[in-house]
Structure 1
Amino acid sequence: MNSNQTVEKLRQMRLGAMAELHYQNVKDNRFTAFTPDEYITLLADHEWEDRQGKKMARLIKGALFKQKASVADIDYSHSRNLDRNMFGRLATLSFIKKKENIILTGPSGVGKSYLAQALGNQACLMGYRTVYATTSRILAKLKLSKVDGTYLKELRKLQKTNVLILDDFGLQAFDAAAREILMDIIDDRFNETSTIVSSQIPVSAWYDIIGEGTIADAILDRLVNSSHRIDLKGESLRKGVLKNE
């Protein structure tokens, strides 16, 4: 058997990691230590792990996170009304399988964005497609897509996203166009996918911020009633180490 030909065939079949490992093993004469079954398993596992790693990297890059956030790095030492056990359960991502939402509220600087992105990063590591965006920017983008005719295409992309993170919700008032777009987003995702919302505004004030009673009722009914809610308290963590927002 010509090892060079085997390596080339593996590469042509887009089994690059397997090809590289086989090439190194042949070069160093390491493959003789394995049975045929063990060696095939070794190559297959190496290729699978390489592809999983690349997939995670693609998902994290495509999520467009504002900062690097990890569930493992969350600081529970501050008094901010963050229950470790509750958040730990959320970090298992069972809420995604159940098509549930998460709402994070609290004053500026208490870590809402960090917590949302930590969950988003965890979702990427588990193979879920995630998108992070500030609410104002995603609404502005979709307004422009109505002009260039790509609105439905952009909505379908969001609908296929397992986890959508809407940060800084309610910082800007909703005009009629923004309300309709938000309604389209939430309606498409209802009982299909999960949405994480972070906001400085308490949920009790969202009705007035969204405006137009009928649409506000419809949005809140779909978003809030199927959500896990975390209401953070305390002073801004930015006064100390800039870590959690």
Structure 2
Amino acid sequence: MNNQTIDKLRSMRLGAMARLHLQHVEQNRLEGMTCDEYLALLTDHQWEDRENNKTERLLKQASFRQNANLADINYSAERNLDRNMFARLGTLDFVSRKENIIICGASGTGKSYLCQALGHQACLSGIKTLYTITARLFKKLKLSKVDGTYLKELEKLTKMELLILDDFGLQAFDNQDRETLMDIIDDRHGKKSTMISSQIPVSAWYEIIGGEGTIADAILDRIVNSSHRIDLKGESLRKGILKQE
């Protein structure tokens, strides 16, 4: 009877429940619990297993370069990073409100780490997230225009509840890049959250995007107006690591 029950659990893709039930049967640990308590135990175990698997899938899909987390954020005064403000962002309410985040600062000030820490927290909360270097994404989308998969790739981006564009503006935008950026931002505006990090201050983005002024205006209007802004200061954190070594 127990073997049949375990087989049926497995066939219904309730593997975690089946494994735990088998352990209890083999170790004769069924006594001392009511039927309700035992059912709750098996159900909770299955639920936790699925949630863990979901988190692992989301983290793998996000493609983070660093294992960043909120607990390790450096709030030293010279960084100009407000602890209370960033803690509010860490609640991820900005995602539910479809708001954006812009993080600017010189090279090595920790922009990428902050982005990935928030992205990691989003994955733990079941939020579909994608982290990407902006130039690499544009290169990939250029190739997709050649092989006819551009719209499919855009749709994948649109499904992401949080899209993180790191190192924004390091390379000059050509006409295709501007059109691609407009497509991405327009599809997500008011629907999904976008996080952008850049060494270039927002005041210079208009010139970097270039092209016809109307396109740059439209892009910046959609990105900047609904965004939380963080401007990091101080020396490169990498320099501090090198000094310690």
TM-score bin, normalised by smaller chain:
over 0.9
Amino acid at match of 2:216: A
Instruction: Name the SS of the counterpart of 2:146 in structure 1.
Output: helix
Amino acid at match of 1:233: K
Instruction: Name the SS of the counterpart of 2:103 in structure 1.
Output: strand
How far apart, CA to CA, are the structure 2 residues paired with 1:151 and 1:235? 40
Instruction: Name the SS of the counterpart of 2:51 in structure 1.
Output: helix
2:164 paired with 1:170: no
Amino acid at match of 2:232: L
TM-score by length of 2: 0.97
How far apart, CA to CA, are the structure 2 residues paired with 1:29 and 1:14? 24
C-alpha displacement of 1:168: 0.3
Instruction: Name the SS of the counterpart of 1:117 in structure 2.
Output: helix
How far apart, CA to CA, are the structure 2 residues paired with 1:77 and 1:41? 46
Amino acid at match of 1:141: K
Q: Which residue number corresponds to residue 193 of structure 2? A: 194
- Matched ranges for 1:81-96 at <5 A: 81-96=80-95
Q: Which residue number corresponds to residue 51 of structure 2? A: 52
Unaligned runs of 5+ in 1: none
TM-score by length of 1: 0.97
Runs of 4+, deviation exceeding 4 Å: none
How far apart, CA to CA, are the structure 2 residues paired with 1:79 and 1:50? 42
How far apart, CA to CA, are the structure 2 residues paired with 1:96 and 1:43? 33
Instruction: Name the SS of the counterpart of 1:72 in structure 2.
Output: helix
CA deviation map 1:157-207 (0-9, x unaligned): 100100000000000000000000000000000000000000000000000
C-alpha displacement of 1:78: 5.3
Q: Which residue number corresponds to residue 205 of structure 2? A: 206
Unaligned runs of 5+ in 2: none
How far apart, CA to CA, are the structure 2 residues paired with 1:18 and 1:78? 50
Amino acid at match of 2:236: S
**Identity rate of aligned residues, in percent?**
69
Instruction: Name the SS of the counterpart of 1:32 in structure 2.
Output: coil
2:177 paired with 1:182: no
CA deviation map 1:107-157 (0-9, x unaligned): 000100000000000000000010010100001100110000000000011
Instruction: Name the SS of the counterpart of 2:31 in structure 1.
Output: helix
- How many residues are matched? 241
Amino acid at match of 1:215: I
- Matched ranges for 1:94-133 at <5 A: 94-133=93-132
